[in-house]
């Protein structure tokens, strides 16, 4: 209910500053048993190890520096309530150095602040497995279990934390958990110890009173609120807290409640808590005019609160002031959030309809009542806002609702202290730049260490990370481009090598690497453009000449490409591999007679040369000579029995020849070698469907569409298979997908699928 949430929140903001969230980015930082080094300290250690040649320790220290830096930036984002970005950075900090418990604790806090208690629980339990005696982690685990309503587990963790490190926050929350578990005696002991360890304090008594009140121990709560008032009679909000305690005790205590709320108003004029509950008391005592007065004062104090206007509308309705009731209820609906509680809105529309009916506005009344009925149909559960007095008269339900709502708000407020960045805003940009520079250097040095050990794929990833944090690092592009090229990640090599070549356009080695990278990513026009200035200077490397020649031919310059192929043959006339590459170039241009000649020359020089028989078989397949294709593909498998392309193409030819069983055997062999081969799954599914083995067909066709979601032909066959087993809805969906993709795809992709 709107009003209860506001009441308790206003009370708790006064006191909850004494209870910070524990963690490495909270104001009160509790050190873990093994304090993690700062990013700067870890980076300096790493440099020392690297200079000394101890690269293993250097890498570990650089990862520690990366983890600490990401942790700092993640905490900064969380302090600004940018939870998604902060959680991502903190998760990467944990990944960089899994043993860094402080990073995992901060990741837990980020999930906690974002109210994802399940993920927070997982992270904090992992942290405690690594450091069971970490008091901050135990304290945080207690908070998480408390918020999840597992008070037994919360008490267990908090007791352990309290033994390791006596702390007001931990003790208070443990007492709350004990009270939730209906163990008031140990809670009372904790409260006594808290009071004995400090001078008499009104604030302390208020905190204890809140704990008792929101866990249902109203008599004990009243004692502590009374003591707080005795110590500090004019302290704001205490009388209203005391008044709410009396209110929750029921009608027999309304007089005492009214006295406390009036006392609060003498200290804090227009206190919204007091106005609200004075209005509630008057309404329950059927003093509609008095209730209307208090709710008018409440609405004036809280002009954007829909519940204030709803209560005013109720009071005006009961007082017979129907025009005022209509105005208040319309205002309540106008200021309510669009994503608000449908049940609350239904009550407002219903009461508005009754008021309009009494005013003789039957059309308006009918419309409002219909809207109320519609909202109740969308939200079948009864609303949390009970209508008192003449409309409802449900005092016990209202009190219970108030108490439980207040209890939830107490948990939320006590466990959440807003975290602010410890870095002044004017210095934040400088701090981020400094930490980013450190991250860039650390990632770069990790890449250098990996490259020294020939771990080029890992090195490329580290250099890419370095570039995201500090792209101006000297030699970064050169190291990155070389690592990506040597790792055969040509698409990643292109960017840094392009930048290097712009700086050094006469560097032929860079130009060759860039031309090859374009070629390997099928960017033939760019590859040809890159190679063209150095065609006469290319070394007599058959692979390089082949790539440049193919790029030129594919981009329309057959003459220049042919000259490179001629060079290949001149310098490698006795090399079967050179003849194979030239044959592949001719095959790629559908120059089949020339291709066959080169493949045969290659086999003359080396009868066991891998791929030669395969490409001859492909030439025969393209020419429609299926029997000769089968002979050559079998010859390839006799040389290289695990050749996946040869097995797949042979299976495809057998399917064309209606030799289904042999095709199925080969396709199963293909998938044993290459399980993620989408076309093989498609062909096997289609073959099984032709045989009537529908369930097996569905399995392979579903896999094919998952591996190749943009290919239309798999969905068509899948729709046929679904329809055979009666899955009509799935069949229709697959057919629609096929039709949509077929419109987008080129004609060659709309038929039976690729032939190799």
Report how far residue 250's alpha carbon sits from residue 257's, in angstroms, rounded to the nearest whole number: 10
Greatest distance between any 2 Cα atoms in the chain: 112
Write the secondary structure of 51-113 as one string of H (helix), E (strand) and C (coil). Answer: HCCCHHHHHHHHHHHHHHHHHHHHHHHHHCCCHHHHHHHHHHHHHHCCCCHHHHHHHHHHHHH
What DSSP string runs through 104-165? HHHHHHHHHHTT-HHHHHHHHHHHHHH-TT-HHHHHHHHHHHHHTT-HHHHHHHHHHHHHHS
Report how far residue 394's alpha carbon sits from residue 399's, in angstroms, rounded to the nearest whole number: 9
Report how far residue 482's alpha carbon sits from residue 476's, in angstroms, rounded to the nearest whole number: 10
Name 309's Cβ contacts closer than 8 Å, sequence gap at least 6. Answer: 299, 328, 329, 331, 332, 335
Q: Identify which of 147, 180, 206 has the alpha carbon closest to the alpha carbon of residue 416.
A: 147
Q: Which long-range contacts does 699-703 make (Cβ < 8 Å, 24+ apart)?
A: 703/678
Q: Kindly tell me the sign of the dihedral angle through the C-alpha atoms of 137, 139, 141, 143.
A: negative
Report how far residue 738's alpha carbon sits from residue 714's, in angstroms, rounded to the nearest whole number: 8
State whether residue 591 is helix, strand or coil: coil
pLDDT of residue 341: 62
- Taking a C-beta distance cutoff of 8 angstroms, is the pair 613, 600 a contact? no
Q: C-alpha angle with apex 544: 541 to 548, nearest 5 degrees?
A: 135
pLDDT of residue 427: 86
Q: Identify which of 95, 99, 121 has the alpha carbon closest to the alpha carbon of residue 108.
A: 121
**CATH fourth-level superfamily of 287-388:** Tetratricopeptide repeat domain (1.25.40.10)
Q: Give the CB-side neighbour count of residue 597, counting CA atoms within 13 A.
A: 5
Q: Identify which of 157, 148, 75, 84 has the alpha carbon closest to the alpha carbon of residue 118.
A: 148
What DSSP string runs through 558-569? HHHHHHHHHHHH
Report how far residue 617's alpha carbon sits from residue 613's, in angstroms, rounded to the nearest whole number: 6
- Taking a C-beta distance cutoff of 8 angstroms, is the pair 554, 524 a contact? yes
Q: Which two tokens stand for residue 708?
A: 């190749």
Domain boundaries, the chain: 1-20+199-279+393-421, 139-197, 287-388
pTM (two decimals): 0.71
Name 744's Cβ contacts closer than 8 Å, sequence gap at least 6. Answer: none
Report how far residue 733's alpha carbon sits from residue 505's, in angstroms, rounded to the nearest whole number: 54
Residues 439, 445, 447, 451: what is their CA dihedral angle, to the nearest 10 degrees? 180
Report how far residue 150's alpha carbon sits from residue 162's, in angstroms, rounded to the nearest whole number: 18
Per-residue exposure over 566-599, b if at least 16 CB sit within 10 Å of its own CB, e if not: ebbbeebeebbbbbbbbbbbbbeeebeeebbebb
pLDDT of residue 399: 40
Entry field: residues in the chain: 756
Q: Which two tokens stand for residue 117?
A: 């208690």
Q: What is the CATH number of domain 1-20+199-279+393-421?
A: 1.25.40.10
pLDDT of residue 570: 79
Please state, as a whole number, how many other Cβ atoms lie within 10 Å of the Cβ of residue 28.
13
Report how far residue 527's alpha carbon sits from residue 545's, in angstroms, rounded to the nearest whole number: 12
pLDDT of residue 558: 79
Report how far residue 452's alpha carbon sits from residue 140's, in angstroms, rounded to the nearest whole number: 42
- For the chain, residues with pLDDT lower than 50 are 1-33, 380-384, 386-406, 408-409, 417-418, 747-756
Please state, as a whole number, how many other Cβ atoms lie within 10 Å of the Cβ of residue 190.
21
Report how far residue 356's alpha carbon sits from residue 162's, in angstroms, rounded to the nearest whole number: 60
Report how far residue 488's alpha carbon sits from residue 509's, in angstroms, rounded to the nearest whole number: 16
Q: Which two tokens stand for residue 712?
A: 């239309």
Report how far residue 175's alpha carbon sits from residue 11's, in angstroms, rounded to the nearest whole number: 20
State whether residue 14 is helix, strand or coil: helix
1-20+199-279+393-421 and 287-388 share one CATH topology? yes
Q: Which two tokens stand for residue 541?
A: 């490397």
pLDDT one-digit tens code per residue, 175-199? 999 999 999 999 999 999 999 888 9
């Amino acid at each position: 209910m709107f009003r209860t949430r506001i009441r308790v929140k206003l009370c708790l903001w006064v006191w909850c500053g004494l209870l910070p969230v524990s963690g490495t980015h909270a104001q009160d930082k509790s050190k873990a048993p093994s304090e993690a080094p700062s990013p700067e300290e870890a980076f300096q250690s790493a440099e020392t190890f690297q200079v000394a040649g101890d690269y293993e320790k250097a890498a570990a220290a650089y990862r520690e520096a990366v983890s600490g830096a990401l942790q700092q930036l993640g905490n900064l984002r969380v302090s600004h309530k940018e939870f998604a970005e902060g959680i991502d950075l903190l998760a990467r900090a944990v990944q960089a150095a899994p043993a860094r418990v402080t990073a995992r604790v901060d990741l837990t806090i980020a999930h906690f602040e974002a109210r994802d208690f399940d993920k927070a629980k997982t992270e904090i339990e992992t942290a405690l497995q690594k450091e069971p005696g970490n008091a901050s982690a135990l304290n945080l685990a207690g908070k998480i279990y408390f918020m999840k309503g597992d008070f037994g587990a919360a008490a267990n963790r908090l007791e352990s934390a309290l033994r390791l490190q006596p702390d007001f926050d931990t003790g208070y929350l443990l007492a709350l958990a004990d009270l939730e578990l209906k163990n008031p005696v140990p809670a009372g002991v904790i409260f006594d110890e808290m009071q004995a360890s400090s001078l008499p304090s009104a604030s302390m008594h208020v905190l204890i009173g809140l704990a008792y009140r929101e866990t249902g121990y109203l008599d004990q709560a009243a004692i502590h609120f009374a003591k707080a008032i005795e110590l500090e009679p004019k302290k704001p909000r205490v009388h209203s807290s005391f008044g709410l305690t009396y209110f929750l005790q029921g009608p027999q205590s309304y007089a005492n409640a009214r006295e406390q709320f009036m006392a609060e108003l003498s200290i804090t004029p227009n206190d919204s808590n007091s106005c609200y509950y004075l209005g509630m008391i008057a309404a329950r005592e059927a003093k509609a005019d008095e209730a209307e007065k208090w709710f008018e004062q409440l609405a004036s104090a809280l002009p954007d609160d829909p519940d204030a206007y709803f209560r005013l509308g109720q009071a005006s309705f009961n007082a017979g002031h129907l025009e005022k009731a209509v105005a208040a209820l319309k205002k309540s609906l106008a200021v309510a959030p669009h994503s608000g509680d449908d049940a609350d809105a239904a009550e407002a529309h219903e009461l508005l309809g009754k008021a309009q009916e009494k005013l003789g506005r039957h059309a308006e009344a009918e419309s409002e009542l219909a809207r109320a009925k519609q909202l109740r149909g969308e939200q079948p559960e009864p609303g949390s806002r009970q209508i008192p007095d003449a409309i409802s008269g449900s005092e016990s339900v209202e009190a219970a609702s108030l108490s439980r709502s207040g209890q939830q708000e107490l948990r939320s407020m006590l466990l959440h202290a807003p975290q602010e960045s410890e870095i002044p805003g004017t210095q934040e940009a400088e701090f981020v730049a400094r930490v980013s520079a450190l991250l860039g250097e650390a990632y770069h040095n990790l890449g250098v260490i990996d490259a020294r050990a020939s771990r080029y794929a890992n090195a490329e990833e580290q250099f890419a990370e370095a570039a995201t944090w500090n792209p101006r690092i000297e030699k970064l592009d050169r190291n990155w481009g070389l690592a990506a090229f040597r790792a055969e990640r040509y698409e990643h090599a292109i960017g840094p090598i392009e930048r290097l070549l712009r700086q050094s356009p006469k560097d032929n080695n860079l130009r060759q690497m860039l031309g090859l990278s374009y070629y390997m990513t099928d960017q033939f026009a760019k590859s040809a453009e890159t190679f063209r200035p150095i065609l006469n200077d290319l070394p007599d490397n058959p692979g390089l000449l082949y790539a440049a020649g193919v790029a030129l031919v594919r981009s329309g310059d057959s003459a220049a490409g042919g000259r490179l192929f001629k060079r290949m043959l001149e310098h490698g006339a006795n090399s079967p591999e050179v003849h194979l590459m030239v044959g592949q170039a001719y095959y790629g241009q559908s120059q089949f007679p020339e291709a066959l000649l080169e493949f045969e020359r290659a086999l003359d020089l080396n009868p066991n040369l891998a791929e030669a028989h395969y490409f001859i078989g492909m030439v025969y397949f393209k020419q429609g000579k299926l029997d000769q294709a089968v002979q050559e593909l079998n010859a390839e498998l006799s040389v290289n029995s695990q050749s996946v392309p040869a097995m797949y193409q042979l299976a495809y030819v057998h399917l064309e020849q209606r030799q289904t069983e042999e095709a199925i055997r080969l396709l199963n062999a293909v998938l044993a070698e290459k399980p993620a081969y989408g076309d093989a799954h498609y062909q096997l599914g289609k073959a099984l469907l032709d045989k009537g083995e529908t369930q097996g067909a569905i399995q392979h066709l579903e896999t094919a569409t998952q591996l190749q979601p943009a290919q239309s032909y798999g969905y068509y066959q899948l729709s046929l298979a679904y329809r055979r087993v009666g899955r009509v809805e799935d069949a229709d969906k697959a057919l629609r997908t096929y039709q949509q993709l077929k419109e987008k795809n080129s004609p060659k992709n709309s038929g039976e699928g690729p032939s190799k």
